[in-house]
Chain A
């Protein structure tokens, strides 16, 4: 299945991009969109303090926190909005909100 193409303002949408008869081959969904926003504050994990419990993962409203192969958690900064719930809810104080870059 072809990935839904997100047309930016710089790219022009021409007649070549439309299918014959203007048929939509895919249903509309919000999943393939990547907002690519940059939050002001970004969660950073301290791996010495982290016990890999997953509380940050269950309390993330944007589903941005994912488990890596080693069991530690990471935030996908494409989706993270920097709300700070993970920082507040971590029992061990392993997450700090820092400025990006």
Chain B
């Protein structure tokens, strides 16, 4: 059976229903890849979702999303938020996180971990996913649609422009982020944590950080601090204590 695992993509529906192929995202965009996989998962729900007059109920945040600072105009690529209504009153929220911030990233400030906020707020199903693991993402979207209450999925989507790497590494970098546990893949069903992909031997964080030019100014000391923080968080997550 292991030999045929490679052929799993052929089990997915081949028709492209929702993603407008002529979208104006950059080449190698992680958000476009994530949205495409989400809609592959929602293939069966197509009939009642088609009632919206737009073929794809999704706002493209990329062109013309500007944040004006006081001194000069700066461009920031914002994360997209996809809100899919279920048949009940609840909804499925999917955030495509491209880790965009204004200015240079600093090693001492970590990003707000929105899945933890969603768990504390009482969402029935919370999960993190990455388009580098497409079948994991598709499973989670389907499970989020099936759960009774509201559900939230946080998708890491690498951004070649914002993170400053070559566009062919989009999928590769997402895989590195999961393998060095800086972005762990887990799901929370009514308070119980479960890691969906757990590598026994983790990569050092340095490999992930040195792949991207946005972290070019980080020093060795900063990376050691990040490594310590990541290890602490991941040890908690393995015990299910977060």
Given contacts A61-B36, A85-B28, A88-B171, is CB(A53)–CB(B7) below 8 Å? yes
Given contacts A34-B22, A51-B6, is CB(A83)–CB(B14) below 8 Å? no
The distance in angstroms between the C-alpha atoms of A29 and B27, with both chains bound, is 21
- Proximity bits, B146-170, A CB within 8 Å = 1, else 0: 0000000000000010000011111
Give chain A's interface secondary structure class.
loop
Chain B residues with CB under 8 A of A39:
27
The distance in angstroms between the C-alpha atoms of A64 and B22, with both chains bound, is 10
Chain B residues with CB under 8 A of A30:
20, 22-23, 55-56
Shortest CB-to-CB span from B2 to chain A, Å, is 13
The distance in angstroms between the C-alpha atoms of A61 and B39, with both chains bound, is 12
Counting chain A CB atoms within 10 Å of each CB, which of B14, B28, B172 scores highest?
B28
Chain A residues with CB under 8 A of B131:
59
Q: Is the CB of B55 within 8 A of A29?
A: yes
Interface size on A, residues (CB 8 A): 35
Chain A residues with CB under 8 A of B55:
27, 29-31
B89 at interface by CB-CB < 8 Å: no
A100 at interface by CB-CB < 8 Å: no
Interface size on B, residues (CB 8 A): 36
Mark out the residues of chain A between 29 and 70 whose CB falls within 8 Å of any chain B CB in the assembled complex: 29-31, 33-35, 39, 51-55, 57-64, 66-67
Q: Is the CB of B169 within 8 A of A55?
A: no
Shortest CB-to-CB span from B98 to chain A, Å, is 13
Contact among B32, B36, B53, B169 for A88, CB-based, below 8 A: B169
- Proximity bits, B25-43, A CB within 8 Å = 1, else 0: 1111110110011000000
Shortest CB-to-CB span from B65 to chain A, Å, is 17
B54 at interface by CB-CB < 8 Å: yes
Q: Is the CB of B9 within 8 A of A54?
A: yes
Which A residues contact B (CB, under 8 angstroms)? 27-31, 33-35, 39, 51-55, 57-64, 66-67, 76, 79, 81-85, 87-89, 91
Of all A-B residue pairs in the complex, the 8 with the closest CB atoms, nearest first, are A84-B168, A30-B20, A54-B9, A83-B28, A81-B27, A61-B33, A83-B27, A33-B22
Which B residues contact A (CB, under 8 angstroms)? 6-7, 9-10, 12, 14, 16, 19-23, 25-30, 32-33, 36-37, 53-56, 131, 134, 160, 166-172
Given A62-B32, A79-B22, 10 more pairs with CB closer than 8 A: A29-B20, A31-B22, A53-B7, A61-B28, A61-B29, A61-B36, A63-B16, A63-B21, A85-B167, A85-B168
